[in-house]
Structure 1
């Protein structure tokens, strides 16, 4: 049955009006990642559902977490041929990994679950924890942050097995990193800011107005910040001069960034189920 002309015109007008609204979400979803002129990236792993945390052990082996809840989370290890194997399962939102001692520390964000130490094919609980997301180590202490209302920034001392609270009353603490010179930074995702912890006095506001800042990494290049936003997320670098640079943009749920060599990094992009390699591009290339 052919529609009368007036109805066809009405339908065409509706489509014209709706097209911009439909095009914008599609553009956000499919627009490719863009890098700053001095950096380049490539895809090195694909089809890793809920990819979240990355870490290298002392042997240089890459570990990857899959952030599934309800005991369905896993830790994968990358073999020398690039294949992945499951080395730990039964986790609930394993959202933090960090090289620690001779193994890899593993956090679980979903409830009161132990923070674990994975060494080869063995796993042991280190201490009781509560909704822990980001973890980082300075080679001795293990720092971790709780992703919940009135969460805490805490520190574990392996020589005494004691956990001390460095800061409390945080809103959705996500990332934590410690620099080689001892500076300690953390994020509060809901507030969109990064702070530097101070042993005495109020913590220093380092950067505000961010779009769901999640992971942090302190490296020789500066302080890296990934945004855990479903669309239009960025990978940012606060360089040693204090200038905030956009290194990657149009990411989808950027997660952990780790350094694998000077000027070379791996980034987990959860929204596209993949891992990117990011490299500094020398001037003139």
Structure 2
């Protein structure tokens, strides 16, 4: 039998195998590609091995609390010990996502549906109010702010003195993050829209950043407004500095979540896609 027919098939078969190999390798490459920091910044792994880590919060003593965004009452709030172990402080939650220290305790939302926003204090949890799929929470020291991660979601403000819940905005498209600055400016994200907006009490809210890849959490600090992208691959950590310049500080993240300040030029960032917390710091000669 002639060898020519077999030779005619060999080229296409090799090409097909190469295509399949490349297709399989591409997701692996995206998964393993290391995080890259901008000039003037560096990072290191602070803690690892926390499945579905999402929100972070630091109390006045420097104790770190983290949420595990698990559904169907499997979600937890952990207190991270010095040796890296997590001690359970609240269990039975449905996708706890969003933590903030509030009035001497810890507040968490639940993204798993129409569920209570809880305040953990003095060893017990108390319902502050109920909302639908609350993800981000923030405080200005008096009011508590929350945003609903759902179609036609709401931006909410809770007054602990009167126990009144106010709707600041409605009809939002999957709001994820909310942050209030010391000067009173209030920012929030809409993930499918790819933008960050500043709430305006008497007029239309202003878009401050757009064209983002699934913006999630926002955090206002002295360095500016931090924005994380909750994308499975190629997510970034961005900083909108006080001059209005948008910088990419970290890239090649996987599902970046909450960022919280540790001190001057130092931050902790939850990277859910790799089950870890990164410590980010500005280099001494950084701008």
- Give TM-score scaled by structure 1 length: 0.95
Corresponding residue to 1:131 among 126, 129, 133 = 133
Q: How far apart, in 2, do the equivalents of 1:14 and 1:153 lie?
A: 51
| Aligned pairs, number | 283
Q: How does 1:88-99 map to 2 (within 5 A)?
A: 88-99=90-101
Contact kept? 1:117, 1:125, Cα under 8 Å: yes
The match for 2:218 is: 216
Shift of 1:284: 7.1
Equivalent in 56, 79, 82 of residue 81 of structure 2: 79
Q: 2:233 — aligned with what?
A: 231
- C-alpha separation between the residues in 1 aligned to 2:18 and 2:278? 38
Single out whichever of 178-187 and 6-15 deviates more from structure 2: 6-15
**Contact 2:41 / 2:286 at 8 angstroms: preserved in 1?**
no
- Mean CA deviation greater in 96-105 or 77-86: 77-86
- Hey, what's the Cα distance between the residues in 1 that align with 2:41 and 2:142? 32
CA 1:77–1:120 in 2, change beyond 3 Å: closer, same or farther? farther
Q: Displacement, 1:16? A: 2.6
2:200 aligns with 198
| TM-align CA RMSD | 1.7
Residue aligned with 1:25, SS:
helix
Which residue number in structure 1 is paired with residue 186 of structure 2? Answer: 184
User: Tell me, what secondary structure is at the counterpart of 1:191?
Assistant: coil
CA distance in 1, matches of 2:112, 2:276: 23
Alignment of 1:4-19 (within 5 A): 7-19=9-21
Superposed displacement of residue 84, structure 1: 1.4
Structure 2 unaligned segments of length 5 or more: list them.
1-5
Structure 1 partner of 2:69: 67
- Structure 1 gaps of 5+ residues are none
Q: 2:180 touches 2:187 (CA, 8 Å); kept in 1?
A: yes
Tell me if structure 1 keeps the 8 A contact 2:186–2:198.
yes
Evaluate the alpha carbon distance shift between residue 203 and residue 71 of structure 1 in structure 2; reply closer, same or farther with a 3 A threshold: same
CA distance in structure 2 between the partners assigned to 1:257 and 1:8 by the alignment: 53
Residue equivalent to 1:58: 60
Residue 29 of structure 2: SS of its match in structure 1?
Answer: helix
Deviations 1:192-229 (A, max 9, x none): 00000001010111011000000000000000000000
Give the alignment partner of residue 240 of structure 1, picking from 216, 219, 242: 242
Quote the Cα distance in structure 1 between the aligned partners of 2:113 and 2:250. Answer: 32
Contact 1:58 1:102 in 2 (8 A): no
Q: 1:38 aligns with which of 40, 44, 52?
A: 40
Change (3 A) 1:120 1:60: farther
Structure 2 residue matching 1:16: 3-state secondary structure: helix
Native 8 Å contact 1:212 1:228 kept in 2: yes
Between the aligned partners of 2:148 and 2:229, the Cα distance in structure 1 is 18
Give the 3-state SS of the residue equivalent to 1:129 in structure 2.
strand
Residue 18 of structure 1 aligns to a residue in which SS? helix
TM-score computed with the length of structure 2 as normaliser: 0.94
